[in-house]
Amino acid sequence: MSQREGLNRRAFLRNAGVTALVGAVGTGGAAEAFGAAKAEPISDFAEPPNGKYDFDTPYNRFGTDSVKYDQQVRMYGKDHIQVGMGIADMDFKAPPCIGRALAQRCQHENWGYLDIPKSYYENIAAWNKRRYGLNIDPETIVLTTGVHPGLIAALRVFSPPGTKVLLTSPTYNGFYGDLTYTGTKPEDSPMKLVDGRYSIDFEDLERRIGPETNTLILCNPQNPTGNCWSPDDLMRIGELCLKKRVVVLADEIHCDFVTKDAKYTPFATLPNKAVVNNSLTFKAASKSFSLAAMKHAWFFSTNPDYLARVKAMNRADLSTLGMVANVAALTEGEDWLNQLLPYIEANHEFAVQYVKANMPLVKCVKPQGTYLAWLDLSAAMDRVGAKQKAMEATKKAGKTVTPEQAMVDWFVEHAKVHLNAGSTYGTGGQGHARMNIATSRKTLETALNNMSAALKTL
């Protein structure tokens, strides 16, 4: 029996983390100020007796150094944040299998260098095969500390500094950071917007590919619009990129979140081999199980040349706990995720109905995927005078504050709810904000009630 197998799980559960975890969740001021739950009780990581995971009970994240809550408290002050609806992680308790595996590993008190077992790559391949019919040769999977480092490695290979990276915008704001990091420049191809639904403007996309455009970052499902790209969309993108010698970097980190009437098509399942060979795909379990700070993701490609070149630029220093958490998620967490998906979808429906019934100044269309809602706030921004507020804030801050950021700040001030400003998502993000609905229904309702009440004062 291996040393790891020999760890006494029951002994661990008896002693579970009392010392390790008790300090982790503070009773921070903001939580108390707004009547949020006090420090969470120590978990025994038990499975729910009836087999049903509880997504309904709000889980207090204040006092854990979370970006979504604590960073906002630090920025705006504790009296101004009640609900974090910004950064893309989830408020739910992780599946107990993850806590169990982590706590069990903590019983072995040595944290030396880590070797990655072959089975780990097989777990990733099995997950993708089982859920999406995607065949990945485990030998072609490369681990990385996050999708960002993987994308950056790829940009370093294909897109020298000063060259352009094609994006269909509005798109995930983090991509622009990756471009800054690699000295490359964004070439936004604004999507068409009809009745709140986005579609790719293929003529515009083609027109924007110049001699200096070497890569396209595809986001599928798309953050922030929630679009799941159809096989036809993907094929058109793929054929265009192949023709123009543009490498497709397919970021599919949100793929586990797809609503029941939509479908996620992995880029790597397209029927044209040459198109697939012209791509790399980047994925992770970090969105699906909210493991973002465990720093773990992977990429793969059917093109051995691309793979070898990007691998050479990718330095992945993975952590033991990240590895343990990811293994537990992929091997034991599927039931939790399957129960979560309808909850997320119901949250989307709740938000759309709520906005329709109570917020005439806001528009919101149910997305096809992701746990993000893309709010059209243009009417609310006019009413608030966001442009004027942005000009004043810019003067005061000595740096550009966009009207969208001014609107976000207004919601913080008047509703104690934090959203993400649409202007950070590239061309087409104007007049919008992104709202993360991966939280308990009660918390979502509190946020919407606060926002609605604030808008009614206008």
Ligand X SMILES: Cc1ncc(COP(=O)(O)O)c(C=O)c1O
| 380 binds ligand X per the rule CB under 6 A | no
Distances (CA, A) of 109 to 164, 317, 390: 48, 20, 52
Closest CA to 166 of 182, 188, 198, 192: 188
Distances (CA, A) of 14 to 25, 48, 141: 20, 17, 38
What residues from 157 to 196 belong to the interface with ligand X (CB under 6 A)?
172, 174
Nearer to ligand X among residue 287 and residue 309 (C-beta): 287
Least Cβ distance, residue 264 to ligand X (angstroms): 13
**String of contacts with ligand X for each residue 410-449, x by CB under 6 A:** ----------------------------------------
β pairing state of 372-376 and 432-436: antiparallel
Q: Residue 34 and residue 32: Cα distance in Å, rounded?
A: 5
Q: Residue 95 and residue 282: Cα distance in Å, rounded?
A: 23
Least Cβ distance, residue 223 to ligand X (angstroms): 4
| 291 binds ligand X per the rule CB under 6 A | no
Q: Contact region for ligand X (CB under 6 A) — 46-54, 70-78, 146-154, 449-457?
A: 146-154
Member of 94, 147, 154, 285 binding ligand X (CB under 6 A): 147
Distances (CA, A) of 82 to 2, 34, 150, 205, 453: 47, 6, 34, 41, 14
Member of 124, 284, 340, 361 binding ligand X (CB under 6 A): 284
Least Cβ distance, residue 117 to ligand X (angstroms): 21
What residues from 209 to 248 belong to the interface with ligand X (CB under 6 A)?
219, 223
| 94 binds ligand X per the rule CB under 6 A | no
Least Cβ distance, residue 236 to ligand X (angstroms): 21
Nearer to ligand X among residue 354 and residue 371 (C-beta): 371
Distances (CA, A) of 339 to 21, 130, 436: 26, 17, 19
Backbone angles phi, psi at 74, to 5 degrees: -65, -35
Member of 251, 256, 404, 409 binding ligand X (CB under 6 A): 251
| 91 binds ligand X per the rule CB under 6 A | no
Q: Residue 143: beta bridge partners?
A: 298
Q: Which two structure tokens, joined as six digits, stand for 178?
A: 């990756």
The residue ranges that bind ligand X (CB under 6 A) are: 88, 146-148, 172, 174, 219, 223, 251, 253, 284, 286, 292, 297
